[in-house]
Chain A
Amino acid sequence: MDVNSNKYTIGFSIVMVVIVALLLAFASEGLKPMQNQNIEREKMQNILKSVGIEVTRDEAQDAYNKYITEAIVLNDKGEKIEGNAFKVDVLKEYKSGGQKNFPIFIYESEGNKKYIIPLVGKGLWGPIWGYIALEEDKNTVAGASFDHKGETPGLGAEINQEWFQEPFVGKKIFDESGEYQSIRVIKGGAPEGDKHGVDAISGGTITGNGVTEMLVRTLKTYEPYLKS
């Protein structure tokens, strides 16, 4: 048989493509449940991390059920509406017009209540996201956790490190007169006593700006609820 004839070449390509497509389809479908479970549990881990609870991926489900007593969906006026907060794709909500759903997770432990708000934004190379937890006064930050898809290792990628997230604790999103200020990542370091700023990462300016933009925009949409 002539392996270089046109007929053979076309036949070979068709057979190869069909085999490869089947193989990959089976692999993808077979592994999907495990991948989705990983993604869901990671989300739970991130939510809990913002209130300072570190759990392994296997414990995430139980800890989530224990501490997060309420997960509600808000509309853009800050009113509670029907819906499954955990399943809301926050990224889509910011993009789409019309009716908007904004999830908020309420943590409760030993009479201590905290409000956890999901954040989504853009870094240098791709999406960044995180959760910020507010104390019962809905103003003081109780904790924050950030993560990213593919920021530069050692630079922008540091946003998921403890040293970057820790300074958010105790910052305030409203100033004394109740004006909305959000929290900003400040290049060159936040001045001492700044209630609305944290230190940026040197070499990670664009990622830092992404974090600022994400905080300003997201917290603004929750303003009606936080002020109520």
Chain B
Amino acid sequence: MSESLFSKKNMKLIKDPLNDDNPITVQVLGICSALAITVKVETAFVMAISVLFVLIGANVIVSLLRKVIPSRIRIIVQLVIVASLVILVDQVLKAFVYDVSKQLSVFVGLIITNCIIMGRLEAFALGNKPGASFLDAVGNAFGYGIILIVVAFFRELFGSGTLTLPVVGKIEILTSLANNTGYEHNGLMILPPMALITVGIYIWIQRSRNRKLIEENH
């Protein structure tokens, strides 16, 4: 008997990565790109969309091929699939959202090495059906995207005093405060170390609210 795509078990595949099993804050994967492209909300958003696309594509393709991929070269096969999808994304970004693609520069290419993607392919897609793999991809990409956008929100707001949203464009929020009251933007926020600290604070808050994540004392 086939189970429904939106069964309880399958919904867990989407929900878990958002909190209990978040790829960045719990599994601590894909940290590198989270540090690099979270200076502006817009770039974080486009990066999240790109990862969503690549992860869904790779997960579903690998899952469809899971029975025909020779196990000895499975990592290479996964890499080729991920790399092709990433090149496609890069080409499409260059053609349609040229400015954003310039800002993301090398980081789109580095999606290939994003541990989340290879991790999901190895851990999930190789052993599960395409439907479930699709949901797993959506869940993990959102889990990744949420962290990127939250981190980018705080970094851009306190670092530059603005919020650059997709479509809407740049919104000045703290800049008038800076001009009138002597408030200074915290330049450290736009440097990579603060991304790490912001992610760290996120993990702290998340763990203090979610008892399941607290390791027992030995």
- Chain A residues within CB distance 8 Å of chain B: 3-4, 8-9, 12-13, 16-17, 20, 23-24, 27-28, 31, 34-35, 38, 42, 57, 149-150, 153-155, 203
- A31: which B residues are within 8 A, CB to CB? 91-92, 94-95
- A154: which B residues are within 8 A, CB to CB? 39, 159, 187, 190-191
- B80: which A residues are within 8 A, CB to CB? 16-17, 20
- B190: which A residues are within 8 A, CB to CB? 153-154
User: Contact partner of B73 among A12, A24, A34, A150, CB < 8 A?
Assistant: A12
Nearest chain-B residue to A160 (Cβ)? B102
4 smallest beta-carbon distances between A and B, as pairs = A154-B190, A34-B95, A9-B70, A38-B98
Nearest chain-A residue to B104 (Cβ)? A150
- B94: which A residues are within 8 A, CB to CB? 31, 35, 38
Nearest chain-B residue to A3 (Cβ)? B70
Instruction: Let me know if B69 and A12 touch, CB within 8 A.
Output: yes
Q: Is B218 an interface residue (CB 8 A)?
A: no
- B70: which A residues are within 8 A, CB to CB? 3-4, 8-9, 12
- B71: which A residues are within 8 A, CB to CB? 3-4
Interface of B: prevailing SS: helix
A28 CA to B87 CA, complexed, in Å: 9
- A9: which B residues are within 8 A, CB to CB? 70, 72-73
A16 CA to B96 CA, complexed, in Å: 28
- Chain B residues within CB distance 8 Å of chain A: 39, 67-73, 76-77, 80-81, 84, 87-88, 91-92, 94-96, 98, 103, 105-106, 159, 187, 190-191
- A4: which B residues are within 8 A, CB to CB? 70-72
- A13: which B residues are within 8 A, CB to CB? 73, 76
Known: A4-B71, A12-B69. A24 touches B84 (CB 8 A): yes
A-B contact count (CB 8 A): 63
A24 CA to B83 CA, complexed, in Å: 10
Nearest chain-B residue to A38 (Cβ)? B98
- B103: which A residues are within 8 A, CB to CB? 153
Nearest chain-B residue to A37 (Cβ)? B95
Shortest Cβ distance from residue B3 to the other chain A in the assembled complex, whole angstroms: 27
Nearest chain-A residue to B91 (Cβ)? A31
Known: A27-B88, A27-B91, A154-B190. A3 touches B69 (CB 8 A): yes
A12 CA to B67 CA, complexed, in Å: 12
Instruction: Let me know if B92 and A57 touch, CB within 8 A.
Output: no
**Beyond A12-B73, A24-B87, A155-B191: 5 further Cβ-contacts under 8 Å?**
A3-B67, A3-B68, A4-B72, A35-B98, A42-B98
- B105: which A residues are within 8 A, CB to CB? 149-150
- B88: which A residues are within 8 A, CB to CB? 23-24, 27
A sample of 13 inter-chain contacts (CB < 8 A) reads A3-B68, A3-B71, A4-B71, A12-B68, A23-B88, A27-B87, A27-B92, A28-B91, A31-B92, A35-B98, A38-B98, A153-B103, A154-B159
Nearest chain-A residue to B36 (Cβ)? A153
- B68: which A residues are within 8 A, CB to CB? 3, 12
A154 CA to B94 CA, complexed, in Å: 22
A9 CA to B75 CA, complexed, in Å: 13
Shortest Cβ distance from residue B43 to the other chain A in the assembled complex, whole angstroms: 9
Known: A3-B69, A3-B71, A35-B91. A150 touches B98 (CB 8 A): no
- B159: which A residues are within 8 A, CB to CB? 154
Instruction: Let me know if A38 and B106 touch, CB within 8 A.
Output: no
A34 CA to B159 CA, complexed, in Å: 34
User: Contact partner of A23 among B72, B77, B84, CB < 8 A?
Assistant: B84
A20 CA to B61 CA, complexed, in Å: 13
Nearest chain-A residue to B103 (Cβ)? A153
Shortest Cβ distance from residue B185 to the other chain A in the assembled complex, whole angstroms: 11
Shortest Cβ distance from residue B210 to the other chain A in the assembled complex, whole angstroms: 32
- A24: which B residues are within 8 A, CB to CB? 84, 87-88
- B67: which A residues are within 8 A, CB to CB? 3
Instruction: Let me know if B95 and A38 touch, CB within 8 A.
Output: yes
A20 CA to B83 CA, complexed, in Å: 10
- A203: which B residues are within 8 A, CB to CB? 191
